[in-house]
Structure formats: C-alpha cells, structure tokens
Structure 1
Amino acid sequence: MTVLDARTLNRATLARQHLLERGDASVPEVVAHLCGMQAQEPQEPFIGLWSRLTDFKPGQLDDALIGRTVVRTHLMRRTVHLVAADDALAWRARHDGMLRQRVLGTYRRELAGLDLDEVAAAGRAVMADQRPRTMRELVQALEERWPDPPHRALGELLVAALIPMVQLPPRGLWHRTAGVRNLPLTAWLGRDIDPLPADDDDPVGRRLLRRYLAAHGPAAAADLRTWCGLAGLPAAIKAARDELVVFRDERGRELLDLPDAPRPHPDTPAPVRFLPAFDNAILGYHDRGRIIDAPHLGLSVAGHRAVLVDGRVAATWTVRDRRLHITPLRPLTASERDAVHAEAQDLTTFLDEDIEHIRLDTQD
C-alpha cells in the first residue's frame, strides 16, 4: 500500500483548500466545496476567502449572506459555521444527535431532568411568529415554564441543539458589529430540512464523507470524526469503501481518498498564505501534522491567525495599534521574509483598516 509522507499530504490539502492556487469560484461555490468555514469570529471567513479566491471582494460574502445562499449556523463540532444553504438543510438532521450530546455534556447538571422534546416544542412555538430573537429573548419567553436552568444553559440547548437556527445579518457582514439574532433555518430559507433516511448504509454520511475527502483528503476516519464531531460514521465508510482509494501515512494509519482527487507532487511550490483564526485547513484533522508542527498545535485552537510558509504554519499574525504584526515560529530565510512581507502588503490593502506598518519580527 502506498505510503504518503507529510509533505505529500500537505500539498494535497493545500490544493483542495484553494491554498496552493487561488480559485475563481463564487463565494457559495467555494463555501460548499470547503464543506463550510468556521465562523464563530464573524469577520474571519472574509480573510479565509481572500486567501483562497482571486479578486475576492467582501461584498461578495455580504451578498451571499443577505441573499440566503450561505448561512451562519451551529453545525460541525457544535461550532458556528458559514455553510452553503443547501448543505445546512441536507446535513442538519445528521448532526442533531451530536449537537444535543455536546450541549448536554457541557451543562449536564444544569439541564438534568428536562424533557428535551417538550423544551424543543415550546421553543418552536415561540419562534413560530418568525420574529428574530436573541438567545436571551427566547429563554425569557420560556422561563416561567422552566425557571430553574441558568439562561445560558437553556439558551444554548435551544439555539445550538434543539432548534436549527441561523444567525441573521447584519451579524457576519463586512466591518459590521452586530449581536446574534436567531431565526429558524426553515423560516429563513423557506424550505424544509432534509429528513434523515433510515437506510443501513447511511447515505447522508456517505455523501458527507465524499465531500469531506474532496476538501480535506486523503484522510483517516479519525480525521473525519474530528472535523464533523460525528461518531457514528463507520457504516458510511464501510459502504463507500469500494468507491475510494486507500493509502497509509508514515504512522501506519489508513487514509481514504477519492480516486480522481488532486494529489500534487510534494515538491510543488506553495505560496505564502495568511489564514484566519480557527481555519479548517488546520482544525479539520485529528492528525494536524501535515500542516502544523507538534509544538505549535495549541495555537490552532487558541484563536491565533496563522501564516503558511512553504505550506506549513511558520508564523502567527494579528492587527493591533494600526500595525500588521507577524511573529515567526521559526527562523525565516531572506526570500521567505520577502514573500511574507509581499503577501502582508496585499492583506493590508484588503483589510482596509488604516494599517500604517507591517512589523515582521525575527527569530534567531
């Protein structure tokens, strides 16, 4: 069985994430291809799209949100994701159990004894007037009936698990600061959520697997599980196995992939790219060694924005005091520093935040 080293896996990831070469797809198309983008920090997807698309303009994502072709919703790993509207409807039922389990795992004591179906029905009844509400407003409408659970616990149960919701614009629009107003997904899109088929081979899971591999493969079953948060996918993987090719990584893990998916030569040049916080190019794997070194794994879950140099996380970046501040994680060569600075200049133009200086630190 062919063994794929970390560099080969890196180039495959970059190619499928549109980080090896910027693409010209529309915003809804690239969001769908990526299987969604983490979006708990509302402005971060703009940076992720700028790094992936040629001539990306913030208004393109604004138009997609306002036009309801992409939505902000709790989905993979119970985190807020920017996802294509069709995917939100197709995938939500498959994620319901996981979303409930994760909220209950966080607030097990506070929510003990609640009849979840009863709470969900009451919440849907409140939202039936299709009036957008904050999480607090929704909980206040129900607190006479359930006065004991803390507002935060009951609110997260309703909004992040029991009732499929979208976070409405202007939340998530370019350079807009807005609180979260929720509306049921079906009310916002005017369509029903796809029911979960009862087939033994889990067709929704099979489609999810293939979509994940198109954006993240080659990957192990553990990588898929880490990305989506779903534990019950063995049947889908078993059913799809004959449609896939199999490799191993240097640790001996079995890697699955689509036969015709791009796997560039490991020596393919990789340009400098600036990634937003919590980008799934890093977080979408159980084994993140293909793109980030072990000593720096904590950065990927702590909200640090990353700079890719030769395809790997080599620096972090932030904007403060009107300065784009870049902190290398390893010594950079003169040519690498030049490439980082050039991409940083383009980024400052895109951010349009009156940035006066680019500070690139050195590491001896």
Structure 2
Amino acid sequence: MISPVSLMQKTVALLQRRPGLLAVLAFVSGVASYILVERKESLAQFIAVFLLLSWLWLLLDNWLRDRIEQRFGVALSPNVVRFALQMVHQESLFFALPFFLAVTSWHHGQAVFTGLIVLCALVSVVDPLYFKKLAPQRTLFVVFHAFALFVVLLIVLPVLLQLTSSQSLAAALATAVILSLPALGAILPNGHWWRIPLLLLLLSALSAGLWQLRSWVPPAALRLNAITLSHDIDYEQRKPGRSISRLDETTLHRQGLFSFTAVKAPRGLHEQIFHVWLHNGKEVDRIKLDITGGRASGYRAWTRKQNFPANAVGKWQVQVVTESEQLIGLIRFSVTAAVAEPAAAAEPEPQADL
C-alpha cells in the first residue's frame, strides 16, 4: 500500500513535469468555487475555511515541518514546500479572479486593481517568472504573498463572517500590511534604536496610502444586478417605470427622478450603500440605503431625488458606492435646456360691421 507521503511526492513530481496542468486545475477550481458561492454559500464557507487554513499552514511552515519530522520521522523536501506554496498562490488568485472580473467597473480605477490580480495569477503559473524572478526576491515575494491573501480575504470575510464590504476591506488591508512587515524589516538596517519607530512609521504610511486608494478596490461580495432611472415606481411589483437616459430641465424639476437598484449580496449580510448624484463630475447629493443579502435577483431598493440645482443642464451620474467609497456601479444621464413653449397666437382685433 502506498503511503500518503509517497503519494504526495509522486503527485508533486507529476505536476512539476506538467506545470500547465496545475494552471488549468487552478483556474477550473477557481471558476468552480465561484459557481459554488453563487449557488450554495455553505460550500463557499468550506472553501473559505480551506484557503485560510492553507495560509495558516504557510505561515507556520518551518514549525510544522519540524513537528512532522519529529512525529512521523519524515522530512518534507523544500521542493515539496515550495511547490505547495506556488499551488496555494495559484488557487487563491484563481479563486478570487472570477469574483473581481464579475464586479469590476472597467472605466474606473478598479480596472487597475483587477488587472493586477490577472498579472499576479499569470506570474504564479509561469514557472520561470515565479521561481527565477519572483521567489529569489525576498521583499517582492512577501508583498506578492500579502497581496494574494488580501484579495482572498475580500471575498472570504463577507461570506464567512458576514462583515460589510467596508469592514472586510479594513480587516483585509490590516492583515496584508502586517504580513508585509518582514519585507519592510528587510530594507532597514539592524542594530539601530530607531529601527522599530521607523518601521512603525513606514507601516502607518503604507496603510494610509493604500486606504486612500480604497475606491479602486471592487467590492467583490456585492454585485449590481440592475440600475434604472425612472419617473415612477411600481410599489407592489417593486419595479421601475420606463428607463430614462435623457430629459429636459423642466421635466426634471417638475417630476424628479427615482434611482432603482438591485444589489446582490451574500446571505446574512447587512450592508449600507449610497446613491451618489454627481453633476458634471461634482457631488450634489448622497442618499443612504440599507440592503440585506440572500436574494438571487438582488435586494431591490430605490431612492427619489426631487431637489435639483436651478441650472441642472449637463452630464449626470448616479453612483452606487459602499461606506468606504468602493464603487458598485453607476448610471449616466443628461439634462438638456428647457424647451421654450410656443407663444400663443395673437387674437384678431374685433371689427365693426359697416
């Protein structure tokens, strides 16, 4: 009978000879994870726990290898551990990728963040890049590791712990920055009293800088299923009226507009979002909405705006954002000048019959 260790080593050897196979398996696994989250969130929680445990194992790598050798008398090869690390990176990035591809606004800075995930996923499957360029660079490798964990936590925390997008972003960012400490420590000289204060200062500056870019991070757990602008709402059916993308200023002031949205969120998640109205790029109003997750078609809700600027002509947007300013989606419309009503025809002067 083949021992588990021998089977694992043979599996590793096979995958090392066929690196493309691992890339395919990781991508298929990521898509399967995405489908499972969509259809049965209890399975998504299992996937989330598995990924978190795998990261915990990586953090305790040396200690666990020593315990295994002492307990079972088996010394795990560094190649096995190195390969396992690559496999976890691939699984994490390809697990996260479908979520971010589904919610990214490509005309926004979010495209840069999702593009970075795609780049890291490609690096993780190209052995010459991963092992010869990335792995030897200790500082860069730690940052890569922290980034992969960051994107996974953005998905895991709302599903597993029902944290809001803003809470998940803050927790994931704090975890990633703390994991980056070895990278920051490596660039500072040892033996100086100011090393720890400077390290804390760098840590604070890094956290503040990344938080300023938080709007570029797509809220992976939320998805905008529908957004419509209309003059009326069917309250019984919870459906908007005719969609509007262009109207004149008089109609806008007289009837106002409803902004209808359907936002999908994980079951059990309670989230606060905002409808932000912008006129020619400038914010003029922000209306709060509370949504609840679990509905397949998304949580349907709407806000109404009737108070518009006197001069409302121009380009408008309604952005749907989280508390941490992460963009969920948007809709645009334009307002034209009021149409002048035609003057009434002059009545002829009465004439006396002669």
TM-score of the pair, normalised by structure 2: 0.26
- Answer 1 or 2: which has greater strand percent: 2
Task: Choose between structure 1 and 2 for higher RCO, CA contacts under 8 A separated by at least 6 residues.
Answer: 1
Could you tell me the TM-score, scaled by structure 1's length? 0.25
